Structure 1
């Protein structure tokens, strides 16, 4: 089943707002920033489905127009159910000049025998700011399912003026490559990746990296680090034992970066 979500966010003289939206079942988009003190757009993607099923194909298209700022949120943990075949997701984000797009979704819970293939392509113009994250759990740990999914593959690409500047490729196949082996996740059960990329020269990247390292040092029972990119930005990698801890950490990082003076 093909499920479609198209969002366009624009900025007028006063604020960023949802200009256009088109969704098919099970998606729904609602505004959630009514009580925010700023003039940016805050939207939540909701779903009437309990999770992603075998044969599902999600097609997400997001356009953030010139000088608009969008912070997108998810409704709840994303469950990947037991599958006979596979499920796929395609996400494309178009960022016009001076725009910002931040998306820190809830953790993904891949159930036993699930196969999920995802690809995200982000196109950035000048003076843009991007933050996206992903947290992958081991599965339904409290039901005895630890790395019993079949395959999880996510390809993430960022383009600046049609030139590829960042590529992150995660492929997990625990039945072929045990993830708790030495040199992989070892005793950790959850992993998270947060990517921050900007196309402006004014960004104080070293100072931001120091602040994020301070946030990482405050956390207990995790292993994490920050890698600065060759262009303006960095990647945060974290290993842990619980999805909620990593999700809260990434929300705190998002809050820090969202409030950088433009």
Structure 2
């Protein structure tokens, strides 16, 4: 199935709003309400499908007009079903100046023989910031499907003024790269990545890293590391054995970063 989602976030009278929205099945986008009195836009992506199926092609286009702030949320865990061929997803995010975008979805559950490739292209304007996260599980652990997927790949590229600033490529392919080998997942079953990049001049990445470390110190169920970028941003990597713990941790980090002015 070829499916498309297109959201344009506008900004007027100091508030962010849905300026335009187009979805095709199985997508649906619903407002979750503004949990805070911050005039930012909060939307949840929902799906009538139980998961991503063989041959599915998802096209997601998100535009943020000048001054807007959009936080997307997911409905539930994303399942990747058994596939003979593959499924693909393309995510394009266009951010004008003075914008903020965040997307910390629920974990991905790759079933046996699933084959999924996702690519995200993000173009960020001046005085803006982006938060992107992803959590990959081992599959249906209670069904004995520990990393029985064919392949999972997620490539993320962030551009500023047509220059590539961030490139992150997550690849899990058990027949090519042994999952439990040293330097890979070893004894862990879940892997998480959170990318933060900003073009705001008043944001101190080192100060933010120190604040996040206070959250890490309270975590005893995961191994977590932060890599500072040469530019103004960082990447968090997490390894663990439970999706919910990792998801809740990334949500806490998102809350810290989302409040930045």
> TM-score over 0.5 for the alignment?
yes
Query: Which residue does the alignment assign to 2:98?
Result: 98
Query: Which residue does the alignment assign to 2:190?
Result: 190
Query: Which residue does the alignment assign to 2:43?
Result: 43
Query: Which residue does the alignment assign to 1:238?
Result: 238
Gaps of 5+ in 2: none
Alignment of 1:79-228 (within 5 A): 79-228=79-228
Give, in angstroms, the shift of residue 36 of structure 1: 2.8
Distance in 2 (alpha carbons) for counterparts of 1:158 and 1:137: 25
Distance in 2 (alpha carbons) for counterparts of 1:13 and 1:134: 33
Q: Normalization by structure 2: what TM-score?
A: 0.98
Query: Which residue does the alignment assign to 1:55?
Result: 55
Distance in 2 (alpha carbons) for counterparts of 1:36 and 1:142: 38
SS in 1 for 2:217: helix
SS in 1 for 2:193: strand
Distance in 1 (alpha carbons) for counterparts of 2:134 and 2:46: 17
SS in 2 for 1:218: coil
SS in 2 for 1:118: strand
Give, in angstroms, the shift of residue 109 of structure 1: 0.3
Matched, 1:257 2:257: yes
Give, in angstroms, the shift of residue 204 of structure 1: 1.6
Give, in angstroms, the shift of residue 35 of structure 1: 4.2
Q: May I ask how many residue pairs the two structures share in their alignment?
A: 261
Query: Which residue does the alignment assign to 2:75?
Result: 75
Give, in angstroms, the shift of residue 228 of structure 1: 0.7
* Conserved 8 A contact 1:155-1:167: yes
* Conserved 8 A contact 1:213-1:225: no
Distance in 2 (alpha carbons) for counterparts of 1:257 and 1:34: 17
Q: Normalization by structure 1: what TM-score?
A: 0.98
Describe the superposition over 1:163-213 as per-residue Cα deviations: whole angstroms up to 9, x where unpaired.
100100111101222201222111000000000000121102111001111
Q: Superposition RMSD on alpha carbons, in Å? A: 0.8
* Conserved 8 A contact 2:34-2:41: no
Distance in 1 (alpha carbons) for counterparts of 2:121 and 2:206: 26
SS in 2 for 1:209: helix
